[in-house]
Structure 1
Amino acid sequence: MAPQSVEPGRTPLPRGIAAPARRALAHAGVETLEQVMALGRLALSRMHGICPRTLAQLEDALDERGLELPAG
């Protein structure tokens, strides 16, 4: 099956992220990988509900698209 095309700037969050992490991201208004990048690793790691596993899932999803999670 071919990957779905996505509008630039509207890359959805990956499936499989735990519910507490999804709620934390939704509460922060984060709906796309581009918004995850804007937050950065430090801000994400400080969010309640975001664990190291979730960070790894987000980094993997970004990496698949040739993007990188900034440290700040």
Structure 2
Amino acid sequence: MMQKTREPGRTPLPRGIAAPARKSLAHAGVETLEQLVQLGEHRLAGMAGVCPRTMAQLQDALDDHGLTLRTG
């Protein structure tokens, strides 16, 4: 389980995300889980390099920190 950040709004993305997905997220300006939440599930799923494994990794990290992706 990941340790919760001490700085709200600055929870880094989990390690182990595939490079293509990490590059797509960086290109979209997403560096934290909080920014990922704002991106939304639909847009995230449509990004290059974001496969089911990456979605599962990100969902696990969000769950660990009590965050939920926006739907739509």
Counterpart-to-counterpart distance in 1, 2:5 and 2:32: 14
Tell me which of the two structures has the higher relative contact order, counting C-alpha pairs closer than 8 angstroms and 6 or more residues apart: 2
Task: Note closer, same or farther for the CA distance 1:68–1:5 as it changes in structure 2 (3 Å cut).
Answer: closer
Q: Which residue of 1 aligns with 2:21?
A: 21
Runs of 4+ in 1 over 3 A off after TM superposition: 3-6
Q: How many residues align?
A: 70
- Across the aligned residues of Structure 1 and Structure 2, the Cα RMSD in angstroms comes to 1.2
Give TM-score, length-normalised by structure 1.
Answer: 0.89
Q: Which has the larger radius of gyration?
A: 1
Counterpart-to-counterpart distance in 2, 1:62 and 1:10: 13
Deviation per residue, 1:13-71 (Å, 9 max, x gap): 00010000000001111000001000111000111111111111111000001111122
Give TM-score, length-normalised by structure 2.
Answer: 0.89
| Structure 2 spans left out of the alignment, 5+ residues | none
Identity of aligned residues (%): 67
SS of equivalent to 1:35: helix
